[in-house]
Chain A
Amino acid sequence: MAEILQYIPGSGLFHQLHPGTKILFIILVSIITILTTSIAVLIALLLVLFILALAGHLFKQVIQQMVLVVFMSVILYLITIVTVPEGTIVGYLIPSFIPAIGGNLPITIDALIVGTVLTLRFAILITAFQLFVISTQPRDLVHTMERAHIPADYTLMFVIALRFIPTLQMEGKRIHEAQLARGYHPGEGFIGRIKSVAPVMVPLVSNSLARATLLGLTIDIRGYRTRKRTSLRERKMGMTDKIAIPLMAAVAIAFAYSFVMVYLS
């Protein structure tokens, strides 16, 4: 998991969009997904996302992500079946032919509906974010954060943290190996794994903090916050953005209208 921002180069629909437009897109999709409880709307939204992924040549990556969704949906269904015991019973989680514990944990239609809504919501959110992450370069994301007037401190923290994660992971492994080479034998199995934590954690924390202190000094000494910063590359809004933003505004207005209408009636 060394690659944390899995950017995939390409030139599809999503690669052409400005990161700001894509963030608007995600916000719109998230709001619709969280507010609506209609299964039809959710399925339609998921299909739209799949069509967009197809248009953006990112279909394969999105489908790969679906494995996680299927796995999570099993858990979501189990949780709702256990927690929603009221309603029409269609079956039992533990078949009734098993002696003693059979016939427990009823599966109700309500639970299945709630489970389906939760699964669809999960699938939509995962897909939308996946489309965003694999089509956006970290560089563009940082520029967008700057343009949105997020303080430079926070964008810098974002970039440094992204850079730190694989380094710290490597460092943890290295310290573990170093301790093993010094004859440290944590023992096997359950207790051994717990015992092996302390001799790795103490050096890992103090090393990474020493690194952070050094980095802080370096940032300071190189004159951070002393003059105006400029960037080499900037991403401009293109034709696709100018079409996409009014379209999304129209969808947002239509959804808000229908939501208010349903709410009032």
Chain B
Amino acid sequence: MFGDHRRSLILSQTAAFIGLIVVGSWVSIPFFPVPLTLQTLFVLLSGAVMKRYAVIPTGLYVLFGAMNLPVFHNGTAGIGILLGPTGGYMLGFIPAACIAGMAYEGSGRSRHAAGFILGTGTIYAIGMAWLSVSAGLSLVDAFIVGVIPFVPGDALKAYAAYFVAERYLSSEQGDI
């Protein structure tokens, strides 16, 4: 190719995934016990498609939110949200995408599935730690409030991400 094709591909895929994460965070699906947003689905998918470069879209997503673009859940934005009780989940997206990406650099179904589970776990760990610090809860309380209600929805999303990723990667005949 003429210039650095890999680089321009990363560039445009980054833009696409930021768009997808933003659109996913605006859609809220009623679910038990808390409503689902599709943010983590696309965060995990970005890892599957962009491998370890997935830190770029997730990092920029958080940065955009900090710059007050209405990209967080339900169109909220700003440093206030990032420093608020739920900010840790947003920060957790960055390592989660990286972990999912590193899992997808290798092959094997169990490796891919493990990457998604570990990625989701990272989001929980950072979100829970930040929740307990910012709201002054004990870690056990933060676990009850900030992790358990989300487990059924996130299990569903991780499964959906795995399903979509396998379908996408098997239909794509390698890089161009």
Using a CB–CB distance below 8 Å, which chain A residues touch chain B? 1, 4-5, 30, 34, 68, 72, 76, 79-80, 83-84, 121-122, 125-126, 129-130, 132-133, 153-154, 156-158, 160-165, 167-169, 172, 190, 193-194, 197-198, 201-202, 204-206, 208-209, 211-213, 215-217, 219-221, 223-226
Distance (whole angstroms) from the CB of A105 to the closest CB of chain B: 14
Query: How many residues of chain B have a CB within 8 Å of chain A?
Result: 58
Could you tell me the distance in whole angstroms from the C-beta of B120 to the nearest C-beta in chain A?
Answer: 17
In Å, the complex CA distance between A55 and B115 comes to 53
5 contacts across the A-B interface (CB closer than 8 A): A164-B19, A165-B71, A168-B19, A198-B163, A213-B13
Chain A proximity mask over B82-124: 1 for CB below 8 Å, otherwise 0? 0111000000000000000000000000000000000000000
Q: Shortest distance in angstroms between B160's beta carbon and chain A's nearest beta carbon?
A: 7
Contact B15 A164 (CB under 8 A): yes
Q: Does B20 contact A (CB under 8 A)?
A: yes
Q: How far is the CA of A49 from the CA of B111 in the complex (A)?
A: 52
A169 to chain B, nearest CB (A): 5
Q: Mark B65-85, 1 if CB is under 8 A from A, else 0.
A: 001111100011111100111
B135–A79 contact, CB under 8 A?
yes
B144 interface hit (Cβ, 8 Å): no
Residues of B within 8 A of A208 (CB): 16, 19-20
Total A-B pairs, Cβ < 8 A: 159
A204 adjacent to B20 (CB under 8 Å): yes
Complex contacts, A153 vs chain B, CB 8 Å: 7, 11
Q: Is the CB of B164 within 8 A of A160?
A: no
Complex contact B23–A160 (CB within 8 A): no
Contacts of A157 in B (CB 8 A): 11, 14-15, 18, 56, 60
Q: How far is the CB of A5 from chain B (nearest CB, A)?
A: 7
Let me know if B3 and A164 touch, CB within 8 A.
no
Q: Other CB < 8 Å A-B pairs besides A1-B70, A161-B19, A165-B71, 20 of them?
A: A125-B78, A129-B67, A153-B11, A157-B11, A160-B11, A161-B14, A165-B23, A168-B19, A201-B41, A202-B168, A205-B164, A208-B19, A209-B16, A213-B176, A215-B16, A216-B13, A223-B2, A224-B3, A225-B3, A226-B2
Which chain B residues border A190 with CB–CB below 8 Å?
A: 30-31
Find out whether the CB atom of B3 lies under 8 angstroms from the CB atom of A217.
Answer: no
Q: How far is the CA of A157 from the CA of B50 in the complex (A)?
A: 15
Question: A129-B77, A221-B2, A225-B7 are contacts. A209–B13 as well, Cβ < 8 Å?
Answer: yes
Q: Are B20 and A168 in contact (CB under 8 A)?
A: yes
With a cutoff of 8 Å between Cβ atoms, the chain B residues found around residue A202 in the complex are 164, 167-168
Q: Point out the residues of chain B lying under 8 angstroms from A220, CB to CB.
A: 1-5, 8-9
Tell which of B18, B68, B176 has the most Cβ of chain A within 10 Å.
B68
Structural contact, B14 and A122, CB atoms closer than 8 A = no
> How near does chain B come to A260, taking the closest CB pair, in angstroms?
23
Interface centre among B30, B83, B163 (most CB of A within 10 A): B83
Q: How far is the CB of B93 from the nearest CB of chain A, in Å?
A: 15
Q: Are B84 and A160 in contact (CB under 8 A)?
A: no
* A172 near B11: Cβ-Cβ < 8 Å: no
Residue B12 is within 8 A (CB to CB) of chain A in the complex: yes
* A213 CA / B172 CA spacing, docked (Å): 11
Chain A residues closer than 8 Å to B56, beta-carbon distance: 157
**Interchain CB contact under 8 A, A205 and B60:** no
Query: How many Å lie between the Cα of A109 and that of B5 in the bound state?
Result: 61
Distance (whole angstroms) from the CB of A228 to the closest CB of chain B = 14
Report whether B20 and A216 are in contact in the complex, using a CB–CB cutoff of 8 Å: no
- Specify which chain A residues have a CB less than 8 angstroms from the CB of B76 in the assembled complex: 68
CA A169 – CA B147 in complex, angstroms?
29
